[in-house]
Structure 1
Amino acid sequence: MLQACLNGSRSRTECAHLPVTPQELAAAARTAVAAGAQDVHLHPKGRDGTDTLDPADVAAVLIAVRDAVPGIPVGVTTGAWATPDPGIRVSQVRSWTVLPDHASVNWHEEGATEVAAALLDRGIGVEAGIYSGTRAARRFLSWRESHRVLRVLAEITDTDPQTAPRAAAGLLDELRPATSSPILLHGEDDAAWPVLRLAASRRLDARIGLEDVLHLPDGTLAGSNADLVHAAGEIIRKGIGGS
């Protein structure tokens, strides 16, 4: 499965063509799916352009994106940077009026299990975000409900293209006890493409988009999420074919 991560916590200062509004995210999702994405992950933004878990903003973007890509699963973030207080984060999840298909929960953040429980209570799939270089894997594997997650996001924080694949292999070894859950492996910035190649060679789920990287494999600036998805699809096909 190839997931398109359309915007992340980036801002327009980092990427002038970053999709921010519901209409922009809907258009980006449409072209990314046409390019081969099978799932969408996005960060709803408030009027100030920053990430938000506000029910009205979440509803607006989900309605717009689902209208653009009917039948495609759509997920959102629950990152602590959007709402630092874990209790408020849980309350926001419980007050959502339009529900995503899934939502990511970062296991190195305080309140991860409570946020995940709130999502599961509402029938929302949990993507367990496990950052390399943290204690997240240990914390996640000790959670009694870990078997209920939709998938595990193995997130490589090392951005060095030479060392990130080794960090990825190490994290995958840590997550070996979670083999009952699908694993989506991804990197960021300069390491995004090497890690995606590793995911392809191991036949793992992967993701790509302007959240993770702004450049194509040849180093040129990506014009859109669709450009990144198309390039990732080519790598995945070659990786699977050559394994």
Structure 2
Amino acid sequence: MAEYRLMVAPNGARRGRGDHPELPVTPQQTAAAAAACYAAGAQALHLHVRDDAGRHSLDAGRYREALDAVRESAPGMAVQITTESAGVYDTSAQFACLEALRPAAASVSVREMARDTSIATRAYALCAEAGTQVQHILYGPDCIAQLRVWYQDGTVPGAMRDAIFVLGKYTPPVLAHPDGLAAFRDAAADLRLNWTVCAFGRHEHACLLAAIAAGGDARIGFENNIETPEGGLLADNAASVAAFVQAARDAGHRLKEC
């Protein structure tokens, strides 16, 4: 039996209500989804915010509004912001977001931060000073190799050992499969990471169950997948969370106490 932590990513940067009518876009929708997912078993929220047109945003004011809404709807739920660029923002904007918010937790893409190593150094130092729990987004062996170099040269503090392995791709679409986990684990074996897995596409639950069985944690949600294994649409984020928690329980796994 394995114990695991479960985070939900209910929207991401790219999908909208046209992709799924229950995908949250506004702070109020996100807060409602967070509360439902928390009740279903998700312990933490990976938070994205949108502008008035529904596009990905790193605006600190919009984050504050969403953070307040989530704290009210799900006061026991941990919240992690994202600094993902989504092809829109440069590293200066990503740093500015971190500087303005000094969040409790944030996901930071190694690949994106590597676009400007001087800003990367400042960003990781800022997070260390602010006590921000950084989760390194790792898309493959190249990202892991870069992270290793940054540990060695001090760009990334040695205590920042949280990471998320991203299985599959959004664009071009590549369905994740459980057997894709091995390449990440092998490449990162020497780094002593506390790792989580997210997985694109309809095999999401199978990938996350494999991750738990291998000693990792899981991130689920409409950012990565809106489909059942058979290709139909999931009802909503909370339904997916509940189904996964039950599947994990049936496999002998249980949620860690936070």
Q: In structure 1, which of residues 163, 166, 182 is the aligned counterpart of residue 179 of structure 2?
A: 166
Which residue of 85, 88, 93 maps to 2:93? 88
Question: How much has 1:150 moved relative to structure 2?
Answer: 5.8
Which structure 2 residues correspond to residues 66-215 of structure 1 after superposition, within 5 A? 66-81=71-86, 83-96=88-101, 99-109=102-112, 110-111=115-116, 112-132=120-140, 135-143=142-150, 144=154, 145-149=156-160, 151-157=162-168, 159-160=174-175, 164-179=177-192, 181-215=193-227
Local SS of the residue matching 2:190: helix
Q: Which has the higher contact order (CA 8 A, sep 6+)?
A: 2
Alignment match, 2:256: none
Q: What are structure 2's unaligned runs of at least 5 residues?
A: 254-258
Tell me how large the CA RMSD over aligned residues is: 2.1
In the TM superposition, residue 235 of structure 1 has moved relative to its aligned partner by 2.2
CA contact (8 A) 1:4 1:40 kept: yes
Equivalent residue of 1:100, what SS? coil
Deviating 4+ runs (over 6 angstroms): none
Percent of matched pairs sharing the same residue? 29
Q: Any conservation in 2 of the 1:83–1:89 contact (CA below 8 Å)?
A: no
Distance 1:203 1:106 in 2: 22
Specify whether residues 113 and 211 from structure 1 end up closer, same or farther in structure 2 by C-alpha distance, changes over 3 A only: farther
- Identify the match of residue 17 of structure 1 among 22, 43, 56: 22
Contact 1:86/1:115, CA 8 A, preserved across alignment? no
CA contact (8 A) 1:128 1:152 kept: yes
Structure 1: runs of 5+ lacking an equivalent: none
Q: 2-side partners of 1:240 and 1:182: how far apart? A: 21
Do the aligned residues in 2 keep the contact of 1:150 with 1:182 (CA within 8 Å)? yes
Q: Aligned partners of 2:184 and 2:209: how far apart in 1? A: 16
Counterpart amino acid of residue 209 in structure 2? R
TM-score normalised according to structure 1 size: 0.88
Match of residue 63 from structure 1: 68
